[in-house]
Amino acid sequence: DYIIAFFACLYAGVIAVPAFPPSARRRDWGRIDAIFKNADPALVLTVEALQENIIHWQVEQNMAPHVAVVASDQLGGNDAGLWQRPISRADTVAFLQYSSGSTGTPKGVMVTHENVRHNLGVISDGFSLTPQDRGASWLPIYHDMGLIGSILEPFNKGLSIYLMSPLDVLQKPLRWLKAISDFKVTASGGPNFIYEHCINRIKEDEKVGLDLSSWELAFNGAEPISRDTLERFSRAFESCGFNPSAHTPCYGMAETTLMVSSCTRNKHFSYITQNEKRNKTSVVCSGDVHPDFRVKIVNPDTQIECADGQTGEIWLQGDSVAKGYWQQEALTQQTFHAKVIGDVTDYLRTGDLGFKQGLSLYVTGRIKELIIIRGQNHYPQDIEASVANSCKELSGCFGATFSVDIGGAERLIVVHEISRHHMRNFNGETILADVRRAVAEHHQLQLHSLVLIKPASLLRTTSGKIRRVAMADAFLSHELNTVFQWSLDARHETNHEKMNTQERDVPQKEGEAITAVCDSEKVQTFNIWIQDWIAKRLQMSPNEVAITEGFVSFGLDSVDAVELTHDLSTEFGIAVKADLAWVYPNISAASDYLITLLDAKTETPTQVKDNKVEQKWLEGEI
C-alpha cells in the first residue's frame, strides 16, 4: 500500500512526503508534528488500520483545519480511466525527504524527477547492478536509503527484491542473513550498525546451514563506517561462505538524492590509519566519486580548495544534488549555493569533513556536529534541550551532546553543567535516571555516558556558541571539570549480570516448566525475568526497575526494546511481537500479555520450520 501510494502521488503530479505514521502514544508525535507543520500537506494517505490513530493525532494537536485522511486500501478502482498525465518537468519536485531524526525545525529536501533519474543511474553504475541481481531489504521505506535504494532502483533495473520488516530484522538479525541465504541474494546492506548487530546477536549454532556465498554486494553507508566492524563481520561469517570482498562502503545523503560514491564491487575495501588526537582509528575509503559529480575539498572558513590529501569540507555539484530545503530559502542559499574562491559554480556544502586521494573519497567526520547513530540523524541542540528540561538540577544550564566511536559503533555522550544552586546538594543517580528517560522518550536513543560538570565550565566560542567538537576532545582526554560521571559499558560484567532469579529468592520457572504453575507465579516469573534483563542491559540494580514504570523511563532505546522481545521468545519458547514495549505501557502489562501467549503455546509450535510460514515475513512485509 505504501509503495502504491508513493507512485500514485507521482502519477497525480503531487509532491509525496514519505513519513512514519504517528502511533497511539503521544510521546512519538514530535517528529511527525514538525514535518506536518513544515510540509503543510493537502492530504494524508494511509491505510484503514492507521486511519483512526492519525485522526486522533490531528484532534489532539488542535490542528485547524483538519487535513483529510484517506485510507488508500479502501478506495475503489473504478475511476482509473479518468486519469490525465500531469505536467511534470525534470525540475519538478517529486517528493520531500525529511531528516530522519529531526524534532526541531525539520529540513525537507526537495528531490526533483531529474534528481531521482540521475541518482538511480549513479547507484546502478557504482554498484554495477544488472537485472540478474537479487536483493533483500529491511530498510524503512520512508528513509532515503530504503525508498530510493530498495524500491525505486529495483524498478529502474528490473531486478527482484525481497522486502522485510525493519522490526523483524532488528528483533532477530538472523532473519536478514537467512533471507540472503535462502533466496541466493546478491545485493543487500544497510548502515554500519546492522553488521555490528549481526555480530553481537547471532550465535554460532544459528549459523549452521547459512550460505552467504551468493552475497556479492554488502553495501555499508548512512553512518560512519568502522573498519573493525567490517573485519569482525568477515571473521564471524567466514564459515558461512561470506566473502570479505563483498563489503562495499559507500557515501551519500538526502541532499544528493542518495549516493555519491562507492567502492568497487567484489574488491576488498581500503583504509588509511590516522593518528590525530580525537580519532586514532582507521578511516575506511568510501570509494570513487561518480564521474557525473564535481567534488571539491574546501577549507570551510576561507572557502579555498584544499590540496589532494588535505582534510576539508566536502562540496558537491551534479544533477543528483537536490533543489534545496522546502520553505527555507535562506538555508537553501547557504547550503546549496556555496562558491569556492575562483569558481562561479554553485556547490552543495555537505557538512562532512574528508579528503581525496586521486578519485577516492575518505570521510573523516562532521563539521555541522550532526549526530548519526544507526543511520538516523539527530541534531545535538534537540537532545540538549530535552536534557536541560529533564530535571530541576539541569534547568537553565547548558550542555553539549556528541557521539564517539566505541566498539565499532557511534555512542551518545552528554556533558552538562549543573546549576550553582544544586551544586553542593544533588543526587547524580537521580539526574542520570531523568536524563536517560528524556533521551529515550524524545529521541529513541540510549545514553552511553553522562558527565555533569561545574557551572560555567562548558567550552564556548567568543560569540557564545557551544564548542561541541572541543567538548568531545576534552571528554576523550579526561579534561572536563567533572562532578559526576557515568558510562554504560556493555562488555563489562557487572555484579548485576551475576545476579539470577535464584539469588533474588524466586524459584526459576523457565521454558516448559513455567506452563505448569499458576497465573500469579507466571506473572512473577515474567516480571522478574524482564527486570533482570533490563538491569543487566543498563547496568542497574533490579530493584530500580519498577514493574509499573514505562519501558522508556529506564532509558531503553528502540533496538533494546526489540532485542528484549527476541530474548523473551527464545527463553520461553513463545512468539513475542517486536512491538511489545510500544504496545504495553510497562512490565506488569507486558507480563499479563505474555501469559496469554504461554497459555496458547500448546496450540503453536515453539519453533516454526514450515517454509510457507518462513516466507510470510519475507514476502511483502512493509
Note the pLDDT of residue 378: 84
Average pLDDT, the chain: 86
Note the pLDDT of residue 25: 59
pLDDT band at 171 (very low <50, low <70, confident <90, very high): very high
Distance, CA of 161 to CA of 150 (rounded, Å): 8
Residue found under cell 555512542: 411
Percent of the chain with pLDDT over 70: 87
The answer, yes or no, to whether residue 497 has pLDDT greater than 60, is no
Residues in the chain, total: 622
Mean pLDDT, residues 163-183 taken together: 96
Note the pLDDT of residue 93: 97
User: By mean pLDDT, which of 41-55, 396-410, 589-603 is the weakest?
Assistant: 589-603
Note the pLDDT of residue 412: 94
pLDDT band at 613 (very low <50, low <70, confident <90, very high): very low
**Nearest of 90, 123, 112, 111 to residue 292 by alpha carbon:** 123
Look up residue 253 and give its three cell numbers.
Answer: 545523503
Note the pLDDT of residue 519: 74
Note the pLDDT of residue 64: 56
Domain boundaries, the chain: 2-88, 123-149+159-366, 379-487, 497-603
Note the pLDDT of residue 63: 64
Distance, CA of 398 to CA of 419 (rounded, Å): 9
What 506-514 contacts at long range (C-beta under 8 Å, 24+ apart), as own/partner pairs, is 510/571, 510/572, 511/571, 511/572, 511/573, 512/573, 514/572, 514/598
The DSSP bridge partners found for residue 402 are 413
CA 267 → CA 117, 247, 345, distances in Å? Answer: 27, 8, 34
Note the pLDDT of residue 122: 98
* Phi, then psi, of 238 in degrees rounded to 5: -60, -40
The answer, yes or no, to whether residue 607 has pLDDT greater than 70, is no
Class of domain 379-487: alpha beta
Distance, CA of 224 to CA of 271 (rounded, Å): 13
Q: Which residues contact 313 (CB under 8 A, 6 or more apart)?
A: 297, 298, 299, 300, 349, 350, 351, 352, 353, 367
Mean pLDDT, residues 321-333 taken together: 96
Q: Is the pLDDT higher at 463 or at 357? A: 357
pLDDT band at 553 (very low <50, low <70, confident <90, very high): confident
Q: Is the pLDDT higher at 275 or at 498? A: 275
Distance, CA of 451 to CA of 453 (rounded, Å): 6
* DSSP string over 418-433: --GGGTTS--HHHHHH
The answer, yes or no, to whether residue 528 has pLDDT greater than 90, is yes
User: By mean pLDDT, which of 81-90, 333-342, 386-395, 464-473 is the weakest?
Assistant: 464-473
Look up residue 235 and give its three cell numbers.
Answer: 571473521
Q: Confirm whether 123-149+159-366 and 379-487 share one CATH topology.
A: no
Note the pLDDT of residue 278: 45
Look up residue 163 and give its three cell numbers.
Answer: 522486502
**Nearest of 269, 272, 297 to residue 283 by alpha carbon:** 272
pLDDT band at 504 (very low <50, low <70, confident <90, very high): low
pLDDT band at 582 (very low <50, low <70, confident <90, very high): confident
pLDDT band at 494 (very low <50, low <70, confident <90, very high): very low
DSSP 607: S
Q: Which residues contact 359 (CB under 8 A, 6 or more apart)?
A: 288, 289
CATH code matching the domain that covers 123-149+159-366, chosen among 3.90.1510.10, 3.40.50.800, 3.40.50.12780, 3.90.25.10: 3.40.50.12780
pLDDT tens, residue by residue, 193-241: 999 999 999 999 999 999 999 999 999 998 889 899 999 999 999 999 9
Distance, CA of 502 to CA of 508 (rounded, Å): 7
Note the pLDDT of residue 134: 97
**Nearest of 22, 17, 13 to residue 2 by alpha carbon:** 17
User: By mean pLDDT, which of 135-144, 328-337, 532-541 is the weakest?
Assistant: 532-541
**Is CATH 1.10.760.10 what the domain over 497-603 is classified as, yes or no?**
no
Mean pLDDT, residues 298-316 taken together: 94
- The CB-side HSE value for 611 (13 A sphere, CA atoms) comes to 2
What 431-435 contacts at long range (C-beta under 8 Å, 24+ apart), as own/partner pairs, is 431/390, 431/391, 431/393, 431/394, 431/484, 432/486, 433/544, 433/553, 433/555, 434/390, 434/391, 435/387, 435/390, 435/391, 435/394
CA 446, 450, 456, 460 torsion-angle sign: negative
Distance, CA of 54 to CA of 446 (rounded, Å): 27
The DSSP bridge partners found for residue 288 are 262, 360
The answer, yes or no, to whether residue 616 has pLDDT greater than 50, is no
In 3-state terms, what secondary structure has residue 561?
Answer: helix
Bridging pattern class, strands 217-220 and 247-252:
parallel
**Nearest of 416, 423, 377, 374 to residue 399 by alpha carbon:** 416
pLDDT band at 443 (very low <50, low <70, confident <90, very high): confident
Mean pLDDT, residues 560-572 taken together: 90
Distance, CA of 506 to CA of 528 (rounded, Å): 8
Mean pLDDT, residues 389-416 taken together: 90
Residue found under cell 537532545: 383
The answer, yes or no, to whether residue 469 has pLDDT greater than 70, is yes
Note the pLDDT of residue 608: 34
pLDDT tens, residue by residue, 350-364: 989 999 998 899 998
pLDDT band at 579 (very low <50, low <70, confident <90, very high): confident
Cite the DSSP H helix spans in 215-362: 227-236, 329-336
The answer, yes or no, to whether residue 484 has pLDDT greater than 90, is yes
Q: Is the pLDDT higher at 132 or at 374? A: 132
Distance, CA of 505 to CA of 434 (rounded, Å): 30
pLDDT tens, residue by residue, 94-121: 999 997 554 556 789 999 999 999 999 9
Cite the DSSP H helix spans in 220-314: 227-236
The DSSP bridge partners found for residue 356 are 361
